[in-house]
Structure 1
Amino acid sequence: MKQLFKPLDYFFVLRPTLFYPVWTVFLAGFFVQNKYGVAANNSAASHHFLGTNGIAFIWVGLFLTMLMGAVFILNQIMDRKTDNKNQKLFLIAHGYLTPKSAFIESAALIAIAVIFAFIFSIKMGFLFLGILILTGWLYSFEPFKLKDRPLLGLVANGLGALLIFFGGWMIRGVLTQESIIYSIPYVCSVAAVYLLTTLPDVEGDASTQKQTFGVKFGFKTTVYFALFFEVVALVLSFFSKDELMFYPALFSLPFFIWASITLKMIEVQRAVKYSILLLTFTICIKWITIYSNAAFSFKYAYFFLLMGVYFLSKIYYKVRFGLTYPSLSV
Structure 2
Amino acid sequence: MSSPDWIALDWGSTNLRAHAMQGTTILAEASGPGAASLPDAMAFEFALLGVVGDWLSDAAMPMLACGMVGSRQGWIEAPYLPTPSAPLDPSAMVRAPARDPRIDLRILPGMRQASPADVMRGEETQIAGLLALHPDFDGVVALPGTHNKWARISAGEVVGFQTAMTGELFQLLSTQSVLRHGMGEGWDEAAFEAGVTEGRRDAERLMARLFTLRAEGLAGELSPDAARSRLSGLLIGAELAAMRGWWLGQDVALIGAPTLTARYAAALALQGNEARQHDGGAMSLAGLTKARTEDRS
Fold in common (TM above 0.5): no
Between Structure 1 and Structure 2, which shows a larger proportion of strand residues?
A: 2
Higher relative CO (CA 8 A, sep ≥ 6), structure 1 or 2? 1
Q: Which has the larger radius of gyration?
A: 2
